[in-house]
Structure 1
Amino acid sequence: MDKGAHFHRCDFQVHTPRDINWRGERPQTVEERKAYAKEFITACRTKGLHAVAITDHHDFGFFPYLREASHAETDETGMLFTEAERIKVFPGLELTLPVPCQALLLLDEDFEVHLLSSVLSRLGIAYNAAEEPVHLPTQRLDHLLTLDHVVKLLGEFEPTKGRFILLPNVGDGSDSVMREKFVAIYRNMSCVGGYTDKKQVEALKRGTLAKLDGHNLEFDFKAVGVFPTSDNRQRDFALLGAFSAWVKWSEPTAEALRQACLARKTRILHSPPQAPNVAIGRIEISNSRFLGPLSLEFNDQFNCLIGGRGTGKSTVLEYVRWALCDQAVLPGTTQEENGFFSKRLKLVENTLQPYEASVTVEVLKNGVRHVVRRKSHPHELLLKIGDQAMEPTTEGEIVSLLPIQGYSQKQLSGVGVRRSELLRFVESAGTSEQLANLENEARDVANDVRRAFQDVEEKRDSLTKSTHLQLNLSSLRQQAVALKQSLVGLTEDDQAVLKAHEAILAGQTAFRQWETDQQNALAAVQRSQRDLAALPSRLAPSANVAENDLILRAQTEAAKVFHGIRAHLDTAASALGPTSPEWEEFRELNAQWAAKCREHETKHREVQGRLSAQQQTLDEIKDVEQKISALESQLHEASLAAEGLTASEAAYTEKRREWEDKFSGRADILTERCELLTMRSDSWIRATLRRGVMGKRLEEQMSSQLQGSRIRDLGDKIMRLADSISNAPSPMVYWQEVLAELDSLSRSDKNVDSTPECPHLDSAGFNAGDQLKIAERISRQAWLEMSLIELEDQPVFEYRQREAEYIPFSEASAGQQATALLRVLLNQEGPPLLIDQPEDDLDNEVIHEIAELIGAAKQRRQLIFTSHNANLVVNGDADLVVAFGYRVAGEQSLGEVKAEGAIDQKAVRERITAVMEGGEKAFYLRKDKYGF
């Protein structure tokens, strides 16, 4: 686990059997008390409590037993719970003060037991021996005049200095400091928190809630953190944990509770906390030039890396982005757009490659641990999911599975002037899976379009071939008739034989075609048998699925259906076999026809023998008849291939419409995200989507296809065409019309010096000669690939200068742009957000506002920032602070982590003060100069 702050469910008012008002038997012997304490700790764990405070009235007598039980608790295997898992038991007192109000005094969880009696003495509280079954009767502590009197006494007492917190009762009851006559006491008290007795905070009166939230003028707009407590004093633990709070700390100390009160909105929750479902858990650097080996665990909420310039904090962020393949070089982007990525590669080349180092990043996604390891040299990218083995993977797979959103120094303020950054920003307004799934579906449909297009083209070619064959057949048949009529000396019987010869040949062709049909049908059935052999699909190896009776029944039914289908296919294959009984009649007819053909052939040879003097004409007739027979076979095949052209064209049209719908759906999603983005920026940004822009990829494809066509000013004409598409009322419709013109050119007869009408190409400057050259250059396949390049959708951002008045986003200042964009990033859910020194892009006046947004944002998404600004770290309430520094003072050659934890730790506060405030003296000097 990281060393930062985490939530713990706490009940900070629990009484022991020494309480005067205890309900139930009182353990009195040492053994009985130890047994009770063990049972109490078990009850805490059963009820889901992580920490309790033992707060008997003016008494610590029973506390040592409970602390001992906490440290001695074991799990079901007999092993002691780790320090992180152990139930925390704070020593405390319930004080009855003359204010009059009740108050809880809580000490550090590790406060020394032998010093507890000195606390009572310091407060002037009388107490009896811990061995007694009940503590002394509760007396009001009239000598402790005010809450701050108690604070002063303990704050000046060395054992308790900095190790206690005082929490007055802030409920609706008679023991509360919230009563109207105590306004001055509330306003002037130094207490930053309070507690309620057996009451949830939301159940308090509306007026009380307003005061506690700092919304009441009379109470000086003073807000405090509130801890609901159970006030449990039942032997059966009936109320234990019934009223509790989730409190965030890194160490169980009174200072941690004070810090929680100061950041009450994010560190004290009255319902179970929500955490991001995706978080970077750890980075491990095997070695590096500046930082050396480094292993660092991240908090799942807000992490801040701090340190002087050049101490390595930004380097760690860049290593994370490199390992997770964030923002690789994209085709069609400019050198400036790729600059941040190029700098990252240079960093890897200079600091990791000399050591052949690797960076390992762990990501927890929906409870599943993913480990990515990227090696700098030799280059290798590996992924481990859950308990699976580490396997090679690709950058695309990492980006798809484990996306992050990262910005280098000054990158945020450059979003508005880079189209690719704008698109990335809009896409990030929702889940990446939605767009990724749509793009995957579009690629699949595009492949379907290609197959359907190929089918249509083949059928059209077959239809064209069929038309040509029919013309040739018509000519040959007429030639055959004319040649036969030119023969002389024929009897009527001879003429009948010659006339029947063409029909005999046609019959032979028909029988051959039917035999071919039989063979083709058998081959088709056998292919289907192979395709269906492994169906239905097997169940995934999951016990949860395999044990589900409904799933098993469904699998059985599916198996039955496929078994039946395979049986039908077996029957069909058997029926199509060359020796099957089904073809017996056909074979008999074929044999009869063969006999008839032999009889005819005998007569035909006799006729030819009698006409030997006209052998040349007979040879010509034979040649023509052979050609007719061959062409008839070809015509049959072509006609079969052309069958279903209308249906194929309809299927192709439907697939193209489906493909277009995918990208129309993508544009719809991006439009919705633009609207979300506008809302999340509090309308400082007005984001809209410009649909259907002819992007670089399409321009490059067209230029590539027409390269070498010798069209003058080709680039300018393509640009004019792109402008016409982009500026059309409906760019998609206009583009489809352009595609239709290019389609007609690619189909046109290349031997004719004229082209179809192409008004859109005309208006772009492509004259008739250019169009002839286009017709020569663009093949059918090239046209298809061009048609499958979608028009691009461009986000358009505007910045609100004043109400209802917007300017182009690029005209806003860098600070205005970054502030508006950061509002969006912090107001939306998403993957981990990594920003290197966001304050570099922000105006100082808005940093405090951004710090407040961070509190809500870190419950929706993990944040990992580097910063030099104390407002972001302290007021933003960083859950983990990692302070970097130089290993050797005065030398800047090597860096290391100097401190790691949360602001409730003294060492971390000291590093924040030194790095961000210039030291304690500098801080107080500025305070004095400001006159605060």
Structure 2
Amino acid sequence: MTLLEKYNEINKRPNGLRLWAIDLHFHTPASKDSAWIEKDAFKILRMIHEAGINCVAITDHFSGNFIDELKNARKTMSGWSEFRGQNLPVILPGVEIEVDGVHLLCIFSEKYGTAEINYFLSRIGIKPGQYGDPEANCTTGLLDIRAAVDEYGGLIIAAHANSNKGLLGIKGKNFADIASIIDIVEINRPNFERDVEGARKYRPELKNKPFIRGSDAHSEEGLKKDRFYIKMQSPSFSSLKQIIFEPFSRFLPSEYETAILGISFSSSTGIFGSQILSFNGAMNTIIGGRGDGKSILMDSIRYALEEYPTLDHLNNLDGGMLSRISGTFKDGDSISVFILHHKEIYACIRGIAIEKARKAYSASTPAKWYKIEAGDFTEIIRPEGLKFTIYSQGEIESLTRELDVIGEICDSYNPEISDIKDRISESLSILDFLFSERLRIRKIDELLPEKKNRNTELAVNIARFEELLGSIDKSIYRKMSRANEEASRMINEIWEVIEQMRRIGGSMIGRLDNVKDSFFEEGSFINTDFEAYFNHVRSTVIRISEIMTFSDIGKFNDTPERKSWKVKLDAEKVVYDNLIRASGMETQESLMPRLIALREDQKKVGIEIESDSAEIGKLEEVEINIRATLSDVISLQSALRDARMSNIEKLNADTPETVYVDYGSDNSELKDWLDETLKSKGITEKGATVSRLASLSPMELLLNITSKNVEEIKKLGVSEANANILIGVIDSMQEQSLHRVNVAFTPSIGLLKGGQKFPTATLSIGEKVSAVFPLLTLNTGRPILLDQPEDDLDHNYIINNITQSIKQNKSRQQFIIVTHNPNIPVLADSDQIIKMKRIEESHTCIVETSGAIEDDSIKSHVMRLDGGMEAIEIRYRRYRS
């Protein structure tokens, strides 16, 4: 089933009480004074239907003659194709009578008709000749009339009480007597609210009677003018009778901003299978036996919405919520919750994926949120401000021992507190940054002397290397070495030329012998001139070759001068090598790169020193900002305290008079922090000193420390020596954490008995829960889900407080409550009661039935919570005996 199909299924399912339009004072053509011209039952019924009336009482004057005709018309019309799938108005038989000048309506169950009305009229002394006579008067006693109505289980309504022949027009005993037998008061237009308020204020006999508006219509126009709504499971007499017990809440439309519309499961093996449950926007009660799946149903909603218990042992340890979910579902199953929030429809879907490490459970799959609109859905992030109040079985009792958690819950009722806490949180983050900056700058300051020393060392080394290079450049060896290299290069060049010429000379002799034939003719020289020139050239070439061959240039290195020079050069090289070794280098060539590297290091260190000096210059500004931010936080904490005090006043006004709330705080974390931080630091009278210091807030204490305000600390009764130690120790901390030490908001809660305050620590478990419960379930507009709140509550408290609180608030916020106590669904008039049942054969839990208390099946299930009808009757007889 798709997401939209699930939502559509939830949307179309009945879910208990809803508002239906009724008219309990309608005249038909059977009345003698009727203005009707047409006496067609079909037309009249169609007219009532088109007027939007779901339930109508036919109340002619002393007559029930037209009732059967309308009922028969309804039966016939319900089979017509145009009305298929529609609910035609339910016809309630009734009659209008006059007693002592006052008109009364007597209304009965829809199963009755004209015959029963006629019998009733005979019981109160009205003869057939008087049927339909608006001038007739009933002379039977009031108690007899009441008894006759009760014989058929009917209702008596004071007709048009604010009009002519209405109850409010009489006074004295006559008024009191009639008021004592009526069930409901009818007020006609035009000033319904004003007249109801006046009647309840000035006629105490009517204070707890339900008031309705009826049309007293004798025409179509009159029928359309007055439409009145009552909460009923369905338009029926049994639902109508419930307004006797609920004279206030059955008339209120629901005006909630947020409500859980329903839940569906996608599981092939889970205990809920693929069920879909719908919830009413007002009060839902989930009942059933143990093991019927009530609590796991609540856990499922809570898991899907990621609204976990505040306390770990109720959440992620063995036996906690995640443990129960893991044992109920399998990985891959999913839970979908559909929610109305600010007129938008959302779906929250979460798959089951729970891991266990030792005894701790964790859910690895987050919920996905969708917005449903125009027949489609879009994935979104969780809507902002969407919150729920959910408490599992036993959770409230556990919370009574966690007053800091209760403090957070109390804070949540005041948006101003949340805003101030957010601003404090922002300031704490700023302090985190500022203290981090201060630590960073202080470390820079600590390292700066080392960098300056390094800079000095570099300068010395650079100067030494520059001096060394200067000495080396001026050394005799450097000059002799360069001269020697130049001379050797010249000799080598000459030697290379000589070698080349010698090779050329030998080559030329061979070439002359090869051209000799050019000088010969027939085996001899051409003439003497040729012979003479040839011999001259050849002898010249031979002489040059001999000169090159026997040259002394190769003996240059063996000359005395050359040997003497080498000795002197080697001696100077020893001096040069000693200079190089003194620099720490191997060769002269490595000296310059080393000097360049030293200069680069010096430049880098110089830049760092300049930058660090600039950063250190910011330290004073950081210190100023720290003190300013601390002052801001102190002001915000003062505003937070004022807001909390104001909130506590409101909480005291909104909770029962027997409950009190006082402002409280717990500085034990600050004491522990100071005790640990100052351990072995030379503090005298350490215990007393810590207690005195803890009288300040962490921010106030830290402001004095960062300001080095010894005098202000001494005002707490701390010695000057201890104050200086304190400032020195905390101010020098590497990682500042004092500003993150929490002083918990722990309101003092308890009960008032005989004008005295009894805090929760002195109360029994039931009394503790009675004191805390109202604080946890104040009306905030968000849905409230409770699992068996009666477990630790006094029986009278449930009757006098819980049920009354629910009735007052359920029109503005949704309740979903698991209970075994029948008083909760009955006295709070649950809009929907869901009966769970376990099917042992398939190990599943199902919704056996659901509806309101007027449903006979639901009524029987609720009575079983109370021991059944027999037990109720036995107790009643014993109480009466």
CA distance 1:151–1:685, shift in 2 (3 Å): closer
**1:99–1:145 CA contact under 8 A, matched in 2:** no
Letter matched to residue 876 of structure 1: A
Letter matched to residue 877 of structure 2: D
CA distance 1:18–1:682, shift in 2 (3 Å): same
The alpha-carbon deviation at position 413 of structure 1 amounts to 3.3
* 1:795 aligned onto 2:741: no
Q: Larger deviation: 119-128 or 857-866? A: 119-128
Letter matched to residue 359 of structure 1: I
Q: Distance in 2 between matches of 1:40 and 1:64?
A: 14
CA distance 1:256–1:146, shift in 2 (3 Å): farther
Q: Larger deviation: 716-725 or 451-460? A: 716-725
Aligned to 2:530: none
Aligned to 1:326: 307
CA distance 1:61–1:810, shift in 2 (3 Å): same
Alignment counterpart, residue 186 of structure 1, candidates 178, 183, 194 = 178
The alpha-carbon deviation at position 814 of structure 1 amounts to 1.8
Q: Distance in 1 between matches of 2:691 and 2:315?
A: 29
Alignment counterpart, residue 907 of structure 1, candidates 830, 836, 857 = 857
TM-score (norm 1): 0.64
Aligned to 1:268: 251
* 1:299 aligned onto 2:280: yes
The alpha-carbon deviation at position 276 of structure 1 amounts to 2.8
Aligned to 2:195: 204
CA distance 1:626–1:172, shift in 2 (3 Å): closer
CA-to-partner distance for each residue in 1:802-823, whole Å, 9 max, x for gaps?
3442233121122222223334
* 1:837 aligned onto 2:788: yes
Letter matched to residue 329 of structure 2: L
* 1:805 aligned onto 2:756: yes
Aligned to 1:684: 658
CA distance 1:302–1:628, shift in 2 (3 Å): closer
Letter matched to residue 350 of structure 1: G
* 1:313 aligned onto 2:294: yes
CA distance 1:794–1:760, shift in 2 (3 Å): farther
CA distance 1:365–1:667, shift in 2 (3 Å): farther
Q: Distance in 2 between matches of 1:624 and 1:292?
A: 79
Aligned to 1:131: none
CA-to-partner distance for each residue in 1:268-323, whole Å, 9 max, x for gaps?
35xxx353322222122344655554432222222222223333323322322233
Aligned to 1:360: 336
CA distance 1:475–1:425, shift in 2 (3 Å): closer
Q: Distance in 1 between matches of 2:674 and 2:220?
A: 80
Letter matched to residue 5 of structure 1: L
CA distance 1:198–1:621, shift in 2 (3 Å): closer
Alignment counterpart, residue 857 of structure 1, candidates 796, 799, 809 = 809
Q: Map 1:444-463 to 2 at 5 A.
A: 444-453=426-435
The alpha-carbon deviation at position 250 of structure 1 amounts to 0.7
Q: Map 1:367-386 to 2 at 5 A.
A: 367-377=343-353, 379-386=364-371
Instruction: Name stretches of at least 5 consecutive residues in structure 1 with no aligned partner.
Output: 129-134, 486-613, 743-756
CA distance 1:897–1:629, shift in 2 (3 Å): closer
Q: Distance in 2 between matches of 1:314 and 1:718?
A: 54
CA distance 1:739–1:71, shift in 2 (3 Å): farther
CA-to-partner distance for each residue in 1:218-238, whole Å, 9 max, x for gaps?
xxx88321212233445544x
Q: Distance in 1 between matches of 2:167 and 2:207?
A: 13
Aligned to 2:257: 277
Aligned to 1:229: 214
The alpha-carbon deviation at position 879 of structure 1 amounts to 1.5
Q: Partner of 2:663: helix, strand, or coil?
A: strand
Q: Partner of 1:417: helix, strand, or coil?
A: coil
CA-to-partner distance for each residue in 1:724-749, whole Å, 9 max, x for gaps?
3784154542355567889xxxxxxx
TM-score (norm 2): 0.67
Alignment counterpart, residue 138 of structure 1, candidates 133, 140, 149 = 133
Q: Partner of 1:819: helix, strand, or coil?
A: helix
Q: Distance in 2 between matches of 1:282 and 1:442?
A: 39
Aligned to 1:195: 186
The alpha-carbon deviation at position 419 of structure 1 amounts to 3.2
Letter matched to residue 155 of structure 2: I
CA-to-partner distance for each residue in 1:328-371, whole Å, 9 max, x for gaps?
466xx6x5x76898432222122223x75333222222222232
Q: Distance in 1 between matches of 2:118 and 2:94?
A: 9
Instruction: Name stretches of at least 5 consecutive residues in structure 2 with no aligned partner.
Output: 1-12, 355-363, 468-578, 584-591, 710-719
**1:123–1:150 CA contact under 8 A, matched in 2:** no
The alpha-carbon deviation at position 403 of structure 1 amounts to 2.8
**1:101–1:175 CA contact under 8 A, matched in 2:** yes
Q: Distance in 2 between matches of 1:882 and 1:667?
A: 44
Aligned to 1:753: none
Aligned to 1:820: 771
Letter matched to residue 248 of structure 1: K
Q: Distance in 2 between matches of 1:268 and 1:229?
A: 14
Q: Distance in 1 between matches of 2:320 and 2:602?
A: 73
Q: Partner of 2:348: helix, strand, or coil?
A: strand
The alpha-carbon deviation at position 664 of structure 1 amounts to 5.3
**1:97–1:146 CA contact under 8 A, matched in 2:** no
CA-to-partner distance for each residue in 1:864-903, whole Å, 9 max, x for gaps?
2222222222122111112234447xx9965443331111
Aligned to 2:485: none
**2:789–2:819 CA contact under 8 A, matched in 1:** yes
Aligned to 1:344: 321
Letter matched to residue 95 of structure 1: E
CA distance 1:815–1:828, shift in 2 (3 Å): same
**1:738–1:761 CA contact under 8 A, matched in 2:** no
Q: Partner of 2:216: helix, strand, or coil?
A: coil
Aligned to 1:928: 877
Q: Distance in 2 between matches of 1:467 and 1:81?
A: 96
Aligned to 1:492: none
Aligned to 2:20: 8
Q: What RMSD in Å do the two structures reach over aligned CA positions?
A: 5.3
CA-to-partner distance for each residue in 1:893-921, whole Å, 9 max, x for gaps?
654433311111111111111x2222212
**1:799–1:809 CA contact under 8 A, matched in 2:** yes
The alpha-carbon deviation at position 628 of structure 1 amounts to 7.8
**1:56–1:94 CA contact under 8 A, matched in 2:** yes
* 1:407 aligned onto 2:391: yes
Letter matched to residue 910 of structure 1: S
Letter matched to residue 183 of structure 2: V
Q: Distance in 1 between matches of 2:186 and 2:789?
A: 37
Q: Partner of 1:909: helix, strand, or coil?
A: helix
Q: Distance in 1 between matches of 2:629 and 2:812?
A: 40
Q: Partner of 1:868: helix, strand, or coil?
A: coil
Q: Distance in 2 between matches of 1:268 and 1:168?
A: 18
Letter matched to residue 423 of structure 1: G
Aligned to 1:537: none
Q: Distance in 2 between matches of 1:627 and 1:864?
A: 74
Alignment counterpart, residue 733 of structure 1, candidates 700, 712, 734 = 700
Letter matched to residue 305 of structure 2: L
**1:13–1:54 CA contact under 8 A, matched in 2:** yes
Q: Partner of 1:386: helix, strand, or coil?
A: strand
Aligned to 1:416: 400
Letter matched to residue 156 of structure 2: L
Q: Partner of 1:145: helix, strand, or coil?
A: coil
Aligned to 1:598: none
